[in-house]
Structure 1
């Protein structure tokens, strides 16, 4: 039986500091294949090679992955500073209009970390370059040392809106997540509903109000250990259900709040 296709947005890297590549993490592909039950297709996020129109026709849904480069602040009307870090303007040029098109069409998207931030910026929202510099906020960055298991370890709670989309999906108002980001949402974009928060008030989960399809996005990294983590598995399972619905010509469910 043919599986629906999920476009996994790749990031740019250099092998041995000289050979340019587009690559996607194996844990992203594993989460899409093993938990969502879809076929992962790595997408080079560069308009020289693909167009938004082609992607919408080729894929049934999209995973907006995390990545070290940040959304360029010019995309939300601010000047770049050293605090904003590295950028990938080629990815910005694909993912921001792709997110808007999917939201309008009802085509399923799942945003992770940078992808979470991309959805907010695509809808006119803003970001802060260093959440830890805001009063009362914690350091959400990835630990600089340690094994992958240690870096992706569960580090803080996320509290969801009581009775909201994520509460209903997870079956709990509070869950434990990892945290590996420096930037975060400062102002929510049009229709962006913040549905989950870290203990320090940092936005951690969102969906788009009134969107006809699946638009859930999270600031943490649910792709890690997705098959076994009790928070990751329902998120990717629901995403897979939405992608299958889209592929079969049905409305992709969003899990609207009660």
Structure 2
């Protein structure tokens, strides 16, 4: 199996290092380490002009859309809830363009947390803007069980009920066109989605980069290595 090149979208924020405090393209190290542990080569994809997305995706073997801030509700026709975070318009535009380019080209795609929500929005779905009980203190990950739906790609990768790292503020409401739910939390929250029979596009609401289970990322890398 060759080592496929997996692009991972990034934050755009202010960061401090040494004597510097400057705008930076940021990616928690758990993402590239997870790609590497699964056998891939990680490449950071900072926000760019959406019109370049197709050319970028054409150079990749697989795409990961990472977690991050809330998706701006305008993208799914909703008014903002007072508890919805400030918009990240550069990320929204860039990552939606990446998702559409990956779906159109058949490039394997994995959405993580925000990435899963954006995949749903890209296909016409909507989001719950605020959830109770799925996050503890700010910046603190928790765990809860996730149950796979039999017969799905997600269930092929993670066949058992598993405890996963979570930090949810928003979640999938109405599923986008063609998407199916492939895992749920005990309260019914959609924890994984996928596009059956259309290349390889999977999203997880939880954060595999914050744990030691590489199976979901290994699924992406395995498919990407065969293209």
User: CA-to-partner distance for each residue in 1:118-173, whole Å, 9 max, x for gaps?
Assistant: 100000000111122xxxxxx1125337xxxxx345x211111123322222232x
| 186, 192, 199: which one aligns with 1:199 | 186
> Who is 2:169 aligned against?
182
> Who is 1:29 aligned against?
32
Higher strand residue share: 2
Tell me, in whole angstroms, the C-alpha distance in 2 between the residues paired with 1:8 and 1:22: 11
Tell me, in whole angstroms, the C-alpha distance in 1 between the residues paired with 2:221 and 2:2: 14
Q: Structure 1 residue runs of 4+, over 4 Å off?
A: none
> Who is 2:70 aligned against?
70
In structure 2, stretches of 5+ residues that fail to align are none
Tell me, in whole angstroms, the C-alpha distance in 2 between the residues paired with 1:220 and 1:110: 12
In structure 1, stretches of 5+ residues that fail to align are 133-138, 146-150, 247-258
Length-normalised TM-score, structure 2: 0.91
Aligned pair count?
224
Shift, 1:192, TM fit: 0.9
> Who is 1:157 aligned against?
145
Tell me, in whole angstroms, the C-alpha distance in 1 between the residues paired with 2:81 and 2:214: 37
Are the equivalent residues in 2 in contact too, given 1:191–1:210 (CA < 8 A)?
no
Give the aligned CA root-mean-square deviation in angstroms: 2.0
> Who is 1:104 aligned against?
104
| 11, 15, 22: which one aligns with 1:19 | 22
